[in-house]
């Protein structure tokens, strides 16, 4: 009994370290529609290739959300779609002025929508320093994973995506090390979602409207 209690305490401690433990989703928070997300793309001068990339990321993340709902999970698919569409909203700004596009993008989305649930996926789609718990943190992990499955505007495997990142950005050993850490994280997320959703996501094309 003591061993079981210690195990439960350890699990509880891990969950309390997550950024959205018991995150109070408020049904009154406005979820931006696709049209409203497109209007924000215009407002923040999102380049066409980033729009195409974001549409593909939204397709993958939304598909994961729909599968989760069919399996009985309480997931807001609309929130996932909006967060994915807006995850790179600050790219144009940071290209011109510098800064972390995830952090700046999260603040933009929170300011524009007043919805911290949607903003969290934008804020954390690059860096994740907590355990991979897809039960508690489905939305931000779905955005991270979907983003890592899209190279430019094409759906690819994680291996292909990270090979491209090394080629384009691997200018130093430290940068390559960070890219490899991100790959390990993406693999963990892929495994977590595969187990949770009962689907092998490895190299899934996502070209069909429904995963089987």
Q: What is the CATH number of the domain that holds 63?
A: 1.10.3210
Question: Does the pLDDT value for residue 212 go beyond 70?
Answer: no
Range of the domain at 125: 30-197
Q: Is residue 70 part of a domain?
A: yes
Q: Is residue 146 part of a domain?
A: yes
Question: Does the pLDDT value for residue 1 go beyond 50?
Answer: no
- SS3 (DSSP) at 193: helix
Question: Does the pLDDT value for residue 13 go beyond 80?
Answer: no
Longest CA pairwise span in the chain (Å): 59
Q: Is residue 193 part of a domain?
A: yes
Question: Does the pLDDT value for residue 208 go beyond 90?
Answer: no
204 close to 211: Cβ distance less than 8 angstroms:
yes
CA distance 89 to 42: 10
Q: How many domains does the chain have?
A: 1
pLDDT single digits (tens) 65-115 = 999 999 999 889 999 999 999 999 999 999 999 999 999 999 999 999 999
pLDDT confidence band for 27 (50 / 70 / 90): confident
Burial class (CB in 10 A: 0-12, 13-18, 19+), 190: buried
CA distance 31 to 25: 11
Q: Is residue 141 part of a domain?
A: yes
Mean residue pLDDT across the chain: 89
Q: Is residue 127 part of a domain?
A: yes
Phi, psi angle pair for 19, to nearest 5°: -70, -20
Q: Is residue 143 part of a domain?
A: yes
Q: Is residue 117 part of a domain?
A: yes
Q: Is residue 116 part of a domain?
A: yes
């Amino acid at each position: 009994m003591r061993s079981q209690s210690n195990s439960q305490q350890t699990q509880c401690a891990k969950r309390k370290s997550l950024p959205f433990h018991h995150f109070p989703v408020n049904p009154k928070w406005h979820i931006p529609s696709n049209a409203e997300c497109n209007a924000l793309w215009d407002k923040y001068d999102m380049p066409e290739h980033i729009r195409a990339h974001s549409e593909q990321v939204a397709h993958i993340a939304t598909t994961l959300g729909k599968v989760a709902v069919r399996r009985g999970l309480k997931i807001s698919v609309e929130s996932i779609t909006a967060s994915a569409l807006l995850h790179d909203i600050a790219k144009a700004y940071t290209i011109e002025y510098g800064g972390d596009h995830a952090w700046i993008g999260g603040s933009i989305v929170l300011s524009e929508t007043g919805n911290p649930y949607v903003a969290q996926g934008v804020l954390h789609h690059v860096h994740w320093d907590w355990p991979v718990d897809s039960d508690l943190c489905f939305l931000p992990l779905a955005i991270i994973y979907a983003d890592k499955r899209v190279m430019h505007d094409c759906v690819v495997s994680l291996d292909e995506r990270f090979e491209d990142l090394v080629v384009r950005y691997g200018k130093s050993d430290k940068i390559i090390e960070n890219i490899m850490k991100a790959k390990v994280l993406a693999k963990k997320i892929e495994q977590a979602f595969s187990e949770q959703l009962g689907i092998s996501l490895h190299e899934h094309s996502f070209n069909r409207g429904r995963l089987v």
